[in-house]
A and B are shown apart, each in its own frame.
Chain A
Amino acid sequence: MIIVTVNDRLGTKAQIPCLASDSVKTFKAMVAAHIGRATHEIMLKRQGERPFKDYLTLEDYGVSNGVQLDLELDTGD
């Protein structure tokens, strides 16, 4: 189990326990439960990198315990 911190740097910050083998989609669902936003509105990315794709896992992006991810509003573009 890993704990991943999600932060949008605008006052919303959450620590989400999850498994490294979870897909980004699942993780987004959990984030959505924490911050009260719909899943499709959540965009996750490492700082300065491209957004995560839903069908990959956190493992694939090298997300491990204690990693902080940037949370952005996904407008669908």
Chain B
Amino acid sequence: MQDHVPPSTANIAIACALIAGVTGYFIGQGKSLGLFGGSPISTPPKDKKSMEESDDSSDEDHSEECKLVLVVRTDLGMTKADMRSIGKIAAQCGHATLACYKHFLRSWPDSPILRRWERYGQMKVALQVKSEEELETLQAQALSLGLCAHTIHDAGRTQIASGSATVLGIGPGPKGVIDQVTGHLKLLHLSEKHMYSAENAMSLSIEEANKIRLAMGLAPLPGSGGASAPSGPMFKETKDEDPDDEPASTIETRTAAAYDNWTRLQDEAAAKKKKEARLAAIKKEREKAERNEKLEGKGLAEGVADEDDLAWLKSSRKRQKKIAKAEQIQKELEERERQAQEALQYTEADLAGIKVGHELKDFEDGEQILVLKDTAVDAEDEDELEAVSLREKERLQERLDSKKRKRAYEPNDMDESGQRSILAQYDEEIDGKKRHAFTLDGQGRTVEEAELEAAGTSKSKKVAISLDILKDDTPTNDYMDVSEVKMKKPKKKKSKSSRRKRVEEEEDIFETLPPPGDDDAMDVDELETTILKPKKVLFEGSFVDDDDLQARLAAQRSKALKNRKKVRPEDIARRLREEASATPDVRETIEADENSGLVIDETSEFVQNLQRSETEEAEEGRHSRQRRSARSSTGPISPVPHIDDEEDVDMDHSYVEAGERSEARTRSVSVGVTATGLDAEETVDTGLGATLRLLKQRGIVKDSDSGDKNALYRERQKFLADRHRAEEQAERLAREQRERERLSGRWSSMNNREREEWARRNNENRDKLESRKMAEIFMKEYKPTFELTYVDEHGRQMNQKEAFKQLSHQFHGKGSGNNKTQKQLEKIAAENKKMAESSLETSLTGGMSTAQDQQSKKHKQAGVRLQ
């Protein structure tokens, strides 16, 4: 930018002066030499005015200098501080000088002024103006003073617009005159300062700045020379295509839009006007058309056909007929309509079957208007008529009744049907409100009335006997009638009950036995047998399905009893005493016999036992049979055969009978053992066997697989014996061999050492043989048995788990905690106790009693707990 160093003003001035000087000099020289022709002395012809002036001042003007003034416009940008601009100015100035000079030569070639100008160095002065107008004004002034003034217009080839005035040349002329015109003007002073005169300099630098700014992507500065803002306010262009710009948001946009708005309004108004005009025209046309339309069509005269009078008459008759016919049709229609109307009217018959929601007596007061009752559309009940006023009355009555707080029970209150319902006060709640209603039958009566008439007589009768009904209503007995009750006997129970009966029977037999000390037994016994007999009959009656064996047995037993009555009581007592000495069980039984309280106990035990299973029964039977056979075979040890002996008295009875009898006796005697099905608990005092049995019963000592164990033991013993024997045999053999060797000559020939050696070898061989044999035996026979048993400090055998626990405790050196130890001790105590106690003991911990309790609970039997 700064490559062009602007030429100083002095340079320019010198350059101009040089050009002008040189030009003038050579012209002057040429003139003086006569190169240009014309007399150099002769003054050139002048204009009138200038002539005068020159005339006036010709003498005095001799001294006055002449000069040519070049007025340069500076507002064209030629004055830029670059060489092109300077050249432009110089060229323009040259043009101007030449133009002036030529003009002088043409119009006044021998002018003394020109001459003088030429002579005195062709002085040229460059001045500056700032506008074309000024330039023109100057030209005009110069011309008015008779000076030669020429404006140079540039061809516009280079910098400036074509045809624009650039330089005004005035003169050559006397200095004073020219100064009148251009004296106020400044010299063309192209100094730097001048060149950068505020505006221009700024515009210049702004352009540069804009270039930079554009290069940097910034907004250009406003008011640069190139894109200089036009003077005066400018309307913004309306940007219809810009959607971002909110319309009329600012004053500027509004003012910008104003003109457009105005024009648009104008347009609209014009368009509207045009449209209206068009519409009006259309309307007008239409109206016109309508008017024409009305006038079209037939006129009055046109409608009538061309007919003669006769034809008209004929047709008139026809018309008459037509009219009459129409009237008739009308009448018929009316008639039909009337009939339909009549048919539509409601009568009584239409109301047949419709229910009226009131009582008949309600209508006695006066006329009521009935309307159809409101129901839901989908309700299934039929139409019902009701009177609004009556309904209101009813409701009021109801409310009053509810307020009265009637008593619930009204003994005299009765239904209209003459019946009382139980707890009638709840009828409404259960069945819903009862409505009085009647149904119309269409003949002025109600259906109910007709029905009443039909069933009138029976109703009156009912009323007459109503008291009886009351009587019938007396509450019946709370308890059921015996005849009604049907007992259902469970099938399963039957056999049991039969057994029970049998036992009872047996007990009866017992009871019938006279006490040993009783003397007047006979009568009593007689009496008891008589009592007994019907009992037997009853038995047979009640147990139809029982086997006849039982019945027969019973009969035989009773017979036997009869027979036994002949036995004297002393004998019995003796016998009993003997039996008591024989077995403790029997003694117990006798005790039971004497103490009536214990009888129940045994019975209950027995019953309980009976409920176990059929197999036990069978067992029992088998036992008895065995006993029977044993009795028959073995002799006098048992008391039973003794009885047998006693009974040899009545030999007339068959053997079987006698056996039967004896069996019965045995039963009676040994009830404690067999009849209950329970073995008596073994006691410890009788011996080791009994004790073992007791323990076995308790399950404390188990029946181990003793057979196997025995076999094992035996085998082991055998094995040991075999081994022993083999050893012994080997020993003997060895000894014999040794003997033999000692006796042989070889032995004697050997020295001591050799002997030892020999003996050792022999021993070894023997050992080998022996061990082989032993090994054989071992392999064949030996069956190792071992058993690990652990016993704790209480002497109990521990199972695997307990043993492990104990070993673990021993190993770790610590035992269970307090609680656990306590528990363990308790458990052991409980076990000991259980072991010690009798199976009959009725404590909670076990035995029969809990089972019995459960059983009795199950069957809902009453029981006695003995403690």
Contact = CB atoms under 8 A, between A and B. Distances in A.
Q: Which interface residue of B201, B206, B208, B212 has the most chain A CB atoms within 10 A?
A: B212
B392 to A, nearest CB: 93
A30 to B, nearest CB: 6
Contacts, number: 33
Contacts of B582: none
A16 B216 contact: no
A33 B212 contact: yes
Given A1-B223, A22-B218, A29-B216, A17 B2 contact: no
B470 interface: no
Nearest to A21: B219
Task: Summarize B's interface: helix, strand, loop or mixed.
Answer: helix
B372 interface: no
B377 to A, nearest CB: 83
A7 interface: no
A17 B221 contact: yes
Given A3-B202, A17-B202, A33 B208 contact: yes
B477 to A, nearest CB: 119
Interface string B1-34: 1100000000000000000000000000000000
A26 B202 contact: no
Given A3-B202, A26-B216, A19 B221 contact: yes
Given A17-B202, A17-B206, A36-B2, A29 B223 contact: no
Nearest to B207: A17
A18 interface: yes
Interface in A56-72: none
Given A3-B202, A36-B2, A16 B209 contact: yes
A18 B209 contact: yes
B221 A1 contact: yes
Interface in B209-224: 209, 212-213, 216, 218-219, 221-223
Q: Which interface residue of A1, A3, A16, A17 has the most chain B CB atoms within 10 A?
A: A17
Given A1-B223, A3-B202, A26 B208 contact: no
Nearest to B219: A19
Contacts of B1: 33
B223 A30 contact: no
Given A1-B222, A22-B218, A30 B202 contact: no
B216 to A, nearest CB: 6
A17 B198 CA distance: 12
Contact of A18 (B2, B201, B221, B223): B221
A1 to B, nearest CB: 5
Contact of A30 (B2, B201, B209, B222): B209
A17 B222 CA distance: 10
A63 to B, nearest CB: 15
Interface residues of B, number: 16
Interface string A5-21: 00000000001111100
A20 B38 CA distance: 70
Given A1-B221, A1-B222, A26-B218, A17 B212 contact: no
Report the interface size class on chain A. Answer: 10 to 19
Task: Summarize A's interface: helix, strand, loop or mixed.
Answer: mixed
B688 to A, nearest CB: 122
Nearest to B201: A15
Contacts of A22: 218
A26 to B, nearest CB: 6
Contacts of B223: 1
A3 B218 CA distance: 17
Contacts of B824: none
Contacts of B218: 22, 26
Contacts of B219: 19
A8 to B, nearest CB: 16
B495 interface: no
B360 to A, nearest CB: 109
B255 interface: no
A3 B216 CA distance: 19
B4 to A, nearest CB: 15
A18 B219 CA distance: 10
B205 interface: yes
Interface string B219-262: 10111000000000000000000000000000000000000000
B207 to A, nearest CB: 10
Contacts of B222: 1
Contacts of A3: 202
A17 B209 contact: yes
B220 to A, nearest CB: 10
A19 to B, nearest CB: 6
Nearest to B208: A33
B202 A29 contact: no
Nearest to B2: A36
Contacts of A30: 209, 212-213
A15 B209 CA distance: 11
A49 to B, nearest CB: 25
A20 to B, nearest CB: 11
Contacts of B221: 1, 17-19
Q: Which interface residue of B202, B218, B219 has the most chain A CB atoms within 10 A?
A: B218
Interface string B671-688: 000000000000000000
A54 to B, nearest CB: 13
A64 B205 CA distance: 18
Contacts of B201: 15
A16 B221 CA distance: 11
A17 to B, nearest CB: 5
Nearest to B203: A17
B801 to A, nearest CB: 90
Interface string B567-579: 0000000000000
Nearest to A32: B212
A56 B41 CA distance: 79
Nearest to B205: A17
Contacts of B202: 3, 15, 17
B163 to A, nearest CB: 32
Contacts of A18: 209, 221
Contacts of A17: 202, 205-206, 209, 221
A71 to B, nearest CB: 16
A45 B201 CA distance: 25
A26 B212 CA distance: 10
Nearest to A29: B216
A49 B202 CA distance: 28
B221 to A, nearest CB: 5
A8 B216 CA distance: 25
Contacts of B206: 1, 17
Contact of A29 (B2, B205, B208, B212): B212
A33 B213 CA distance: 11
A43 B219 CA distance: 24
A3 B202 CA distance: 9
A3 B201 CA distance: 12
Contacts of B209: 16-18, 30, 33
A3 B206 CA distance: 10
A19 B686 CA distance: 140
A1 B208 CA distance: 14
B217 to A, nearest CB: 10
Contacts of A1: 206, 221-223
A36 B1 CA distance: 10
Given A29-B212, A30-B212, 17 more contacts: A1-B206, A1-B221, A1-B222, A1-B223, A15-B201, A15-B202, A16-B205, A17-B202, A17-B206, A17-B221, A19-B219, A22-B218, A26-B216, A26-B218, A30-B209, A33-B1, A33-B212
- 4 closest A-B pairs by beta carbon, nearest first, are A17-B206, A33-B212, A17-B209, A1-B221
Interface of B: 1-2, 201-202, 205-206, 208-209, 212-213, 216, 218-219, 221-223
12 contacts: A1-B222, A1-B223, A15-B202, A16-B209, A17-B209, A18-B221, A26-B216, A26-B218, A29-B212, A30-B209, A30-B212, A30-B213
